[in-house]
């Protein structure tokens, strides 16, 4: 891509916009094709992430591109440019009046960025550019990116609630709670990256999920320590698998390879390990995959479901025996 050191006299983001627009007009990028991410634009053009974000925002406002969750920014359904290519492009949207900006809009816009491009792509400047407001405007509502991330997490965890008529029995209630959390992590993969068992997020809507789990286990004669340990074991199972959702999305975005393509590229290394004779059981199991018609597919949804079932089977004597 064109470096911003060209003596064109245009702001760097407009040169980036012009180049991507032309690729769309020429058919090099077809509807549905991914356009370069903010990270890639920043790296290849030698510009700041904010400049790359502004370029994609301008293309989005022209109707040339759109953001799709977990896919990123792609060419919109029609490649017809909103502005004829021979006409000079305006320098970008005028800042919206402050009364149009709300904390909810800021949080929802930040969530959309994190959903589409991952949490590392989030910045206060990028949120402002996406909203078409002055760079410092979001700071009137939230003091820092860290504070914004907490608000995002609270809003995301609050998207799913529990029925007033709870299912009968501790196990159906635990299963509902675990599946609800898994749904949220599936919808917002960055959520699983935010807290740990040792340093959990202190946001009300996450505590609400914990309240559901604890109330399902309460009343079975468990001492408080055991009850809370069981709650953490279940939560750790859900979050521990969910962290791989964002890791895989980040790896695919940074390498340009799908999971299958990455595994194919590592086939020689895997074959060398299998044929070394040092790991006979590993060789036997992995070798059996190549003999079958389907091989082995890592399905996180299936691992979540089977792991939850096994975990609850193991906990049943402890909970019910008490």
What per-residue confidence (pLDDT) applies to 85?
41
CB atoms within 10 A of CB 210: 16
Contacts of 239 (CB under 8 A, 6+ apart): 181, 185, 192, 195
Q: In the structure encoding, which two tokens stand for residue 265, read together? A: 């590229």
In the DSSP assignment, the letter for residue 6 is: S
With 70 as the cut, is the pLDDT of residue 5 above it?
A: no
Write the pLDDT tens digit of every residue in 123-134.
Answer: 999 999 999 999
| pLDDT score for 88 | 42
Q: Could you report the per-residue pLDDT of 249-262, keeping only the tens digit for each?
A: 777 766 777 777 78
What percent of the chain lies above the pLDDT cut of 90? Answer: 47
- pLDDT at 110 > cutoff 60: yes
pLDDT digits (tens, 9 = 90+) for 17-71: 889 988 888 888 888 888 888 778 877 888 777 777 788 888 877 778 887 755 6
**What separation in angstroms does the CA of 121 have from each of 76, 252, 257?**
21, 15, 19
Retrieve residue 207's tokens: 């505590």
- For the stretch 252-275, what's the b/e string if a residue is b when 16 or more beta carbons lie within 10 angstroms of its beta carbon? bbeeeeeeeeeeeeeeeeeeeebe
How far is the C-alpha of 256 from the C-alpha of 116, rounded, in Å?
15
Size of the chain in residues:
322
With a CB cutoff of 8 Å and minimum separation 6, the contacts of 8 are 15
The percentage of the chain sitting over the pLDDT mark of 70, rounded to a whole number, equals: 85
Strands (E), the chain: 65-68, 72-75
Burial class (CB in 10 A: 0-12, 13-18, 19+), 178: buried
**In sequence order, which residues have a C-beta less than 8 Å from that of residue 270 and are 6 or more positions away?**
263, 286
CA–CA separation, 125 and 53 (whole Å): 9
Mean pLDDT score, 227-238: 96
The DSSP line for 140-200 is GT-S-HHHHHHHHHHHHHTT----SSPPSSHHHHHHHHHHHHHHHHHH-GGGGGS--SSS-
- The mean pLDDT value for 222-231 works out to 96
Nearest partner of 315 among 210, 198, 237, 209, judged by Cα: 237
Chain centroid to Cα 229, Å, comes to 28
Query: Could you read off the pLDDT of 70-101 as tens digits, one per residue?
Result: 567 888 874 333 443 433 444 444 444 544 89
Q: What residues contact residue 289 under an 8 Å CB cut-off, 6+ apart?
A: 295, 296
């Amino acid at each position: 891509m064109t470096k911003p050191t060209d003596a064109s006299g245009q702001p760097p983001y407009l040169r980036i916009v012009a180049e991507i627009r032309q690729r769309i007009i020429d058919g090099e990028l077809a509807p549905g094709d991914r356009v370069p991410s903010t990270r890639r634009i920043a790296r290849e053009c030698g510009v700041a992430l904010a400049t790359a974000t502004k370029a994609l925002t301008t293309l989005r406002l022209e109707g040339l591109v759109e953001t799709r969750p977990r896919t990123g920014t792609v060419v919109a359904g029609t490649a017809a440019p909103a502005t004829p290519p021979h006409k000079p492009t305006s320098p970008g949207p005028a800042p919206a009046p402050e009364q149009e900006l709300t904390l909810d809009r800021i949080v929802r816009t930040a969530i959309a960025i994190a959903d589409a491009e991952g949490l590392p792509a989030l910045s206060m400047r990028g949120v402002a550019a996406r909203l078409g407001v002055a760079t410092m405007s979001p700071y009137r509502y939230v003091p820092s990116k860290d504070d914004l991330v907490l608000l995002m997490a609270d809003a995301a965890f609050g998207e799913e609630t529990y029925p007033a008529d709870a299912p009968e029995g501790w196990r159906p209630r635990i299963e509902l709670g675990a599946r609800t959390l898994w749904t949220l992590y599936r919808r917002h993969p960055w959520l699983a990256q935010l807290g740990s068992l040792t340093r959990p997020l202190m946001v009300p809507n996450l505590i609400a999920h914990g309240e559901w789990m604890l109330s399902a286990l309460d009343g079975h004669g468990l001492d408080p320590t055991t009850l809370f340990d069981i709650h953490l074991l279940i939560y750790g199972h859900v979050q521990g698998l969910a962290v791989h959702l964002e890791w895989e999305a980040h790896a695919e975005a940074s390498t340009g390879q799908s999971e299958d393509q990455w595994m194919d590229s590592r086939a020689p290394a895997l074959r060398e390990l299998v044929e070394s004779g040092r790991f006979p059981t590993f060789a036997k199991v992995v070798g059996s995959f190549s003999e079958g018609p389907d091989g082995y597919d890592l399905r996180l949804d299936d691992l979540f479901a089977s792991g939850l079932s096994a975990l609850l089977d193991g906990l049943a004597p402890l909970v019910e025996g008490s």
